[in-house]
Structure 1
């Protein structure tokens, strides 16, 4: 896809975020994702009332596994840095791996390619499909599907034409 098409569809400035999902995730998938981001990307991880004053530079997979089992848990989040692109993770549940990005941080084709490299790395690491959708809508328009090294742009209707 060309940058102008991506900018007007996938990364349009509509006030919403874009969600990145790995559906039917397991705790083993989460552990593999955590190992990937800790190893390959700059990370800032915080846990409310635990390390807010000094975010950690790596996510503690054992802490997260126990955190999911705690009924009185506090909030925890991580930011993964792809240069100036911030990929947010809030660890909502162990059944689905979700990340968020802000479309306004994707400012050129090189930024898009950097994000696609991350999605490919996640897909290859987990052996699962990664999708990027509109924010917080489970049956939302899927913009991108990544299976291993294969990146597929869904048909996106814009005006009278389709973008592939």
Structure 2
């Protein structure tokens, strides 16, 4: 365990540098990072499919034909999945905030309706906090529905800024503990 701890401590600067670079990239060019990430994942899946296909075709003569048939089918499926992932990832990524936006709108309408409903369980409870919360949910949902891709970019920017802040805090903490030791 001490060996693992020493390894992490020894290469902590490398982890901080990688986090800083990724955070800066996410903060300033989130679209490029998304495109590169999608491309790398698609390439990885395609390479796995190609390796499996080559392996299955080479071993076709030496192994039972049924097993190599399954391997060929699985490998071709991986290649097709990689191609579909490459072309469909951005629309699917943009659809997630749209769907979440619709859910937020429905939840907000429900909260506003519950705030103004005639059923009062408690006499001295005002409905306004529930109504304000519902209106905020509706506004957030509308923003997600109107601009889903911008919402994803904003989320990536927030994540990038968080990574940069973590690196800065890690550096300050490291300097503090060096002085203490």
TM-score range, shorter chain: under 0.3
**How does the TM-score come out when normalised to structure 2?**
0.20
TM-score, normalised by the number of residues in structure 1: 0.22
Judging by fraction of residues, say which structure has more strand: 1
Higher-helix-fraction structure = 2
